[in-house]
Amino acid sequence: MKNIRVGIPRALLYYRYADAWKTFIEELGYEVITSPETTAGILKDGIKKSVGDLCLPVKTFLGHVESLKDSVDFLFIPRYISVEHDAYMCPKILGLPDVVRACFTNLPRIIDPMFNIKKDKDNTITEFSRQVARILSLEPEAVEKSFIKNSGAGYMNEQEEYSLTDKKINVGLIGRPYLLFDRYLGKNLFRTLSELGANPVYIQPSENEITEAMTVIPKWVYWSMGKEVTASAHAFFKDDKIDGIINICSATCGPDSFTGDLIRKRLNTRNKPYMTLSVDEHASDTGIQTRVEAFVDMIGKVIV
């Protein structure tokens, strides 16, 4: 109705909140434009725009910004600092609007409301909505109503659902959603495993599973997605139906090196086959394919 286009980069928290964000913005009367799936070209553009020491998912995010910036009136890049009371987002995610501004000139205006439960407590959504309303010159009450209505929207609905089957080899996949579910960055692990005759399994751990996992490691994990990755690993290590686990992570990710260490040293008490796949812009598809094939082959020999 307003004929104004709002761009959402298909990277990072898109893989968590895409549905909620899209319906929220559309209900406010704007057209939502999402960047296409990640390609080699998008990643290359992101690398060209990068400054300093950025991880692969953030470089990719910059490539998505590049692909959108000339065709939209606004970019939606909210600043998610904390979405629960006992954890933060990674510093690279909470500083994302600043990173984007530092790497580009001539950007459309960025809608960058802050979501910070630890600071704003019961008023988090009101404060978030007020900032959106100010940037878009809307009534804060209408924005808040729409955000509350849409914030329960599910995520990952663009992905196929995978769960345990009676196939011979079940492989649990853990990793941040923006790596696992980005088919280019995540090396299409779901399909690769299926083609090898294995069954890829992904779970979204419940609050109880997260709390339980935190009690068996020596140190509480204070990053939201790091907690989920750790809890998924714990659930898979305990589950007799899971034959092996693959953890995909970004090669230069500080939080992942911390949680990866905890998973390897503290959770794998039953010596289940476990492999870390660290990816960066130099990771070769063939190299990853070979490692996954060898992993599945090894599990096949162990469980016969």
Q: Does position 256 bind ligand SF4 by CB under 6 A?
A: yes
Nearest distance, CB of residue 92 and ligand SF4, angstroms: 4
For residues 35, 54, 223, 214, the Cα torsion angle rounded to the nearest 10 degrees is: 110
Segment interacting with ligand SF4, rule: CB under 6 A, options 51-59, 137-145, 203-211, 238-246: 51-59
> How many Cα atoms within 13 Å fall on the side-chain side of residue 51?
8
What is the CA 189 to chain-centroid distance, rounded? 15
Segment interacting with ligand SF4, rule: CB under 6 A, options 25-33, 36-44, 89-97, 228-236: 89-97
Nearest distance, CB of residue 87 and ligand SF4, angstroms: 12
What CA–CA distance (Å, rounded) separates 214 from 234? 9
Segment interacting with ligand SF4, rule: CB under 6 A, options 90-98, 110-118, 135-143, 166-174: 90-98
The tokens of 191 are what?
């399909």
Contact (CB, 8 A) for 88 and 94: yes
The tokens of 15 are what?
């893989």
Give the footprint of ligand SF4 on residues 93-132 (CB under 6 A): 93
Q: Does position 79 bind ligand SF4 by CB under 6 A?
A: no
What CA–CA distance (Å, rounded) separates 147 from 182? 26
Contact letters (x/-) for ligand SF4, 205-244, by CB under 6 A? ----------------------------------------
What CA–CA distance (Å, rounded) separates 144 from 30? 16
Give the one residue of 63, 250, 279, 296 binding ligand SF4; rule: CB under 6 A.
250
Contact (CB, 8 A) for 38 and 64: yes
SS3 77: coil
Nearer Cβ to ligand SF4 (93/132): 93
What CA–CA distance (Å, rounded) separates 71 from 74? 9
Nearest distance, CB of residue 248 and ligand SF4, angstroms: 11
The tokens of 251 are what?
């090669």
Segment interacting with ligand SF4, rule: CB under 6 A, options 20-28, 86-94, 127-135, 165-173: 86-94
Nearer Cβ to ligand SF4 (55/235): 55
What CA–CA distance (Å, rounded) separates 127 from 144? 9
Segment interacting with ligand SF4, rule: CB under 6 A, options 52-60, 68-76, 154-162, 289-297: 52-60
Which residues contact ligand SF4 by CB under 6 A?
Answer: 55, 57-58, 90, 92-93, 176, 250, 253-256
